[in-house]
Amino acid sequence: MNFILRGVRVIDPLARLDAHGQDVWIDSGRIVAIYHHIDEGSVPVVDLTPAPGAEECVLCPGFIDLHTHLREPGDEEAETVKSGARAAAAGGFTSIVAMANTRPPIDTPERVADAYADGRNAASPRLVVQALQRAAKGGRPVMIHPEDEEAIAQINDATGSVVRCVERPPQVETRAVDVAIRALAHARTGRLHLQHLSTARSVEMVRRAVEQGLEVTAEVTPHHLAMWLPVEAPPEPVSLLKVNPPLRTDADRAALVHALRDGTIDAMATDHAPHRAEEKSRDYANAAPGMIGLETALATCLTLGGMGGEWIPTLVERMTAGPHRVLGAAIGIPTPRLHIGEMATAALFDPDAEWTVDAESLRSRSHNTPLLGARLKGRVLLTLSEGRVVHADAARIPVAAGEVAHA
367 binds ligand DOR (CB under 6 A): no
Provide long-range contacts, Cβ within 8 A and 24+ apart, for 312-317: 312/11, 312/55, 312/58, 312/351, 313/11, 313/13, 313/18, 314/260, 314/261, 315/260, 315/268, 316/11, 316/13, 316/58, 316/60, 317/13
72 binds ligand DOR (CB under 6 A): no
Q: Which of 271, 283, 350, 393 is catalytic?
A: 271
Question: Residue type at 142?
Answer: V
Pair 404, 389: CB distance under 8 Å: yes
Cα 126–270–278 angle (5° rounding)? 100
Among 172, 243, 357, 400, binds ligand DOR (CB under 6 A): 243
Contacts of 357 (CB under 8 A, 6+ apart): 296, 369, 371, 372, 373, 374, 376
Nearer to ligand DOR, 34 or 226 (CB): 226
Closest distance between ligand DOR and the C-beta of residue 46, in Å? 38
Nearer to ligand DOR, 120 or 339 (CB): 120
Among 273, 326, 357, 397, binds ligand DOR (CB under 6 A): 273
Q: 34-53: which residues touch ligand DOR (CB under 6 A)?
A: none
Closest by alpha carbon to 68, among 221, 206, 193? 221
246 binds ligand DOR (CB under 6 A): no
Distance CA 202, CA 168 (A): 14
- Number of residues in contact with ligand DOR, rule: CB under 6 A? 10
Closest distance between ligand DOR and the C-beta of residue 221, in Å? 9
Nearer to ligand DOR, 274 or 306 (CB): 274
119 binds ligand DOR (CB under 6 A): yes
Whether residue 178 lies in the annotated active site: no
Distance CA 154, CA 99 (A): 26
Q: How many CB atoms lie within 10 A of CB 378?
A: 26
371 binds ligand DOR (CB under 6 A): no
271 binds ligand DOR (CB under 6 A): yes
Nearer to ligand DOR, 83 or 383 (CB): 83
69 binds ligand DOR (CB under 6 A): yes
Dihedral Cα 256, 259, 263, 265, nearest 10 deg: -40
145 binds ligand DOR (CB under 6 A): yes
2 binds ligand DOR (CB under 6 A): no
Q: What are phi and psi of 253, to 5 degrees?
A: -55, -45
Among 2, 80, 101, 130, binds ligand DOR (CB under 6 A): 101
Binding region for ligand DOR (CB under 6 A)? 69, 101, 119, 145, 243-244, 271, 273, 289-290
**Which residues are catalytically annotated?**
271
